[in-house]
A and B are shown apart, each in its own frame.
Chain A
């Protein structure tokens, strides 16, 4: 019985691992881009569908390392959906890439595996394993087009930048974990409070350790002041990988960070609270301010993602004064909306780009509304949603943040949130206006050309999700309420 449940609960992870192996073996025998991509999507889809089996036997502690509950299942599903989206975007993108493409999908699988492990993690060991599996795969994914002479961006620079900084962040996290372990002698998240009590309360070493772990997480979440890598890596990486960074990597890291913070009662310590508050405020303001200066849409999205993670942090901080379940519910909802919006946004950029040319400057979007109405309608929906306008998911998300913030009486952060959003409006609107302008395109117009089915499907699904969540969020809210009630 126990073992049956164990297998069922780990089904997603097992399926992902198996698919990665299948994809790898297939690629070794027959190098065929279409087959490998198809297998990847199929494998991801199959592991996604196992949630039907998993759901009835929740929650389950699958060894000390992984806690499979509705919360982790929600994030795992989100991650796998994101990975499917990225695989669909990657196929047309890499078609023009002359070196072998098949390994990309293997990396995608391993990265996703790491992300799912992160989402289920309830222990520092699994957290580190997940982070590294995700991180190491991402180094290669970011630099994937490096051998292509015609690569449009600077994948090597982006890859190296991410490698060095991310490795540093992992090192800091590891050091933090070591300090923590030395002080309290346990690595399980929810054992921290009791272990801490046993050793007689927190000391400087403990606080230092927590702060170092927070710093490592903040790096992955690209919160100010650890955000420096974000714009360069976002711009330099191939678009599908940027989409992956913005969605899957963020969601996975956020899931584990939230679980760690809540389980360890880290918000009880003023030092942690102060650092997080500073990060949230600085991310909201700086992220939005710097986004205003950008003329490259990928960089713009990078800064906007910094700002949005700042918004998310407000809800996490609110857990210090509101119930944990409300904080979890708000965080999950906002992460979901942010996830959907980002994926749709990058799908639009991806639709008009491939590995040899990326149309990602503001000028490339001039008049897009008249050249390809459906494509720009998707992007306009995304931008309005990012700005938090009604009828879109972003509005409900922002509503969640506001109401959680009000309940937590976080007046300072709410003020920063309003100022940040006000600045945000400016650059979202500017991009919308650019698309509405009249364009004179000389020569071939890529945007008006037909797009591959997969990209269409991603855009359609994500836009539908944005509108659906904005108009009728009730079913999703009750799902999230349910999963949050465990906290």
Chain B
């Protein structure tokens, strides 16, 4: 029940925050904070002392799939279609749920002083997005998964459409249509998959475990796999379906960008690892060269595009696409290092991108522009901010000792085994990353403060947030084993080849 609680608390907290606005416009954020802290407490308890919650890893072998699940619960929902509530969390899921709740707290921190209007509805949307994302990471019924996939979309749409910046209508619309249309393709693919399973097994079911190993006629296999792939690749995002992301990011309020970059993109990567490849092993392996090519193109092309940006948030958005290219590459290499690297990149990028968006959002809040040519010499005005920007930029570039390095290094190692050329090209991406990242520091923080901008340095709340994320990245960089160990059993059970 613990997973249902995690989601339920956020749903209820969201409604509470909305209702509380009537009495006091300061109250919603307090309620949101309490909600997320409660969730975080539960998640940490699950991480460090699962026994305290009465949890012990249970095997899902009775559901047809080997692998250890920390929690697994089932209940009927729509028996007519074999749809049930199946929530489960294993190592990989728990890592991502932790990331979600933690970054939820960070986004709350960035919204704390920024959101002044319609606070109740804002925090409602924020909490519901988080609930949707946790649902995505824990749902093991394909219908339920799709349900949460869409649930996280609408509140995010509202966040961009209501609290966004100058071009919010366009950005929100683009975000929604890209995700929704690719989602519909996935729904169709899910149904076709279920249909073929029904023909073979004589029973309609949407259970992930029952659908693993469904035989699909050759004529359809590729297309069904593509339906899943497109939905996840849109969310990831990968070239050529990435162009909703720069608009959505640059227009979203800071908290929205933090959630988008930190968490929502990870649902795409998670989907590839959990669903696309395990459900369609043969088709995916046949498709892997194309996917790896897309990954490499994403890395190089968007790195170059990022370099050309003047809008700080757009630049960071493009770098996100570039980093997600590594994830695609690692996943489709489908070797132990490759997928482990992809998971590490997901976690580390969650932190670094969230931090960079918080910095960009904080700057915009202070000087009302995102254009880098308007800035310059801000280090003198806001040294703490400058330091943080340098730290997280360097982290994103892949400095050894920080999480991103581990992730990207493992991806390169893993993909080299499969395709040395792809790995070599991707490695060039790391060099380009240094160029586009350092230019940000130069343009924004170094040089001359030509507009005589006065920037208030980071507040206490912000310092705490950045401090926590620094610790997180250092932990990932110094002791990645703790996380690799958690995800390993999951990856083994998903069929990733480990060479021990």
Contact = CB atoms under 8 A, between A and B. Distances in A.
B148 to A, nearest CB: 8
Interface string B139-158: 00001001100110110011
B30 interface: no
Contacts of B162: 436
Interface stretch (B59-67, B186-194, B486-494): B186-194
B80 A481 contact: yes
B187 A402 contact: yes
A92 to B, nearest CB: 27
Contacts of A432: 161
A418 B78 CA distance: 24
Interface stretch (A16-24, A259-267, A383-391): A383-391
B195 A426 contact: no
Contacts of A426: 173, 177
Interface in A460-477: 473-474, 477
A478 interface: yes
A406 B118 CA distance: 43
A432 B161 CA distance: 10
B172 A433 contact: yes
B184 A474 contact: no
Contacts of A433: 161, 169, 172-173
Given A426-B177, A481-B80, A402 B188 contact: yes
Most B CB atoms within 10 A — which of A370, A406, A421, A429?
A: A406
Contacts of B188: 402, 406, 414, 418
A430 interface: yes
B44 interface: no
Given A436-B162, A474-B77, A384 B184 contact: no
Contacts of B77: 474
The contact size tier of chain A is 20 to 34
Contacts of A439: none
A478 B161 contact: no
Contacts of A387: 180
Interface string B163-180: 000000100110011001
Contacts of B438: none
A399 interface: yes
A425 interface: yes
A390 B177 contact: no
A268 interface: no
Contact of B78 (A391, A402, A414, A474): A474
Given A406-B188, A421-B184, A422-B184, A389 B80 contact: no
A370 B117 CA distance: 11
The contact size tier of chain B is 20 to 34
Contact of B184 (A403, A418, A473): A418
B181 interface: yes
Contacts of A395: 147, 150
B385 to A, nearest CB: 31
B191 A406 contact: yes
Nearest to B158: A436
A403 B180 contact: no
A303 B130 CA distance: 35
B23 to A, nearest CB: 16
A407 B176 CA distance: 28
A384 B181 contact: no
Contacts of B81: 399, 403
A92 B181 CA distance: 40
Most A CB atoms within 10 A — which of B143, B147, B184, B185?
A: B184
Nearest to B177: A425
Contact of A406 (B158, B161, B172, B195): B195
Interface string A369-392: 010000000000000100111110
B79 interface: yes
Interface in B91-145: 118, 143
Contacts of B78: 473-474, 477
Most A CB atoms within 10 A — which of B172, B177, B185, B187?
A: B187
A482 B391 CA distance: 64
Nearest to A388: B184
B79 A474 contact: yes
Contacts of A388: 184
A396 to B, nearest CB: 8
Given A402-B188, A425-B177, A474 B80 contact: yes
Contacts of B118: 370
A402 B191 contact: yes
A219 B271 CA distance: 45
Chain A interface, >50% SS class: helix
Contacts of A436: 158, 161-162
A382 to B, nearest CB: 14
A57 B79 CA distance: 28
Contacts of B180: 387, 422, 425
Given A391-B151, A418-B181, A418-B184, A425 B191 contact: no
A52 to B, nearest CB: 25
Nearest to A471: B77
Nearest to B143: A399
B1 to A, nearest CB: 19
Contacts of A384: 154
A422 B181 contact: yes
Given A425-B176, A429-B173, A474-B79, A389 B191 contact: no
Interface in A412-441: 414, 418, 421-422, 425-426, 429-430, 432-433, 436
Interface string B236-278: 0000000000000000000000000000000000000000000
A418 to B, nearest CB: 5
Contacts of A370: 118
Contacts of B146: 390
Contacts of A389: 150, 153-154
A102 to B, nearest CB: 42
B151 A390 contact: yes
A183 to B, nearest CB: 39
A399 B78 CA distance: 12
Nearest to B149: A390
Nearest to A414: B188
A429 B161 CA distance: 10
Most A CB atoms within 10 A — which of B79, B158, B191, B195?
A: B191
Interface in A243-281: none
B80 A390 contact: no
Most A CB atoms within 10 A — which of B79, B80, B169?
A: B80
Most B CB atoms within 10 A — which of A430, A473, A481?
A: A473
B131 to A, nearest CB: 12
A418 B185 contact: yes
A21 B118 CA distance: 53
Contacts of B153: 389
Nearest to B191: A406
A387 B188 CA distance: 16
Interface in B338-381: none
A390 B147 contact: yes
Nearest to B132: A390
Given A418-B181, A422-B181, A478 B187 contact: no
Nearest to B80: A477
Interface in B178-210: 180-181, 184-185, 187-188, 191-192, 194-195
15 contacts: A389-B150, A391-B147, A395-B147, A395-B150, A402-B188, A403-B81, A403-B191, A406-B195, A418-B188, A421-B184, A425-B181, A426-B173, A429-B173, A436-B161, A474-B77
Given A402-B191, A403-B191, 20 more contacts: A388-B184, A389-B150, A389-B154, A390-B151, A395-B147, A402-B187, A403-B194, A406-B195, A418-B185, A422-B177, A422-B180, A422-B181, A425-B176, A426-B173, A429-B172, A429-B176, A430-B173, A436-B158, A436-B162, A474-B80
Interface of B: 77-81, 118, 143, 146-147, 150-151, 153-154, 157-158, 161-162, 169, 172-173, 176-177, 180-181, 184-185, 187-188, 191-192, 194-195
The 7 closest A-B pairs by CB, nearest first: A406-B191, A390-B150, A422-B181, A390-B147, A477-B80, A406-B195, A403-B191
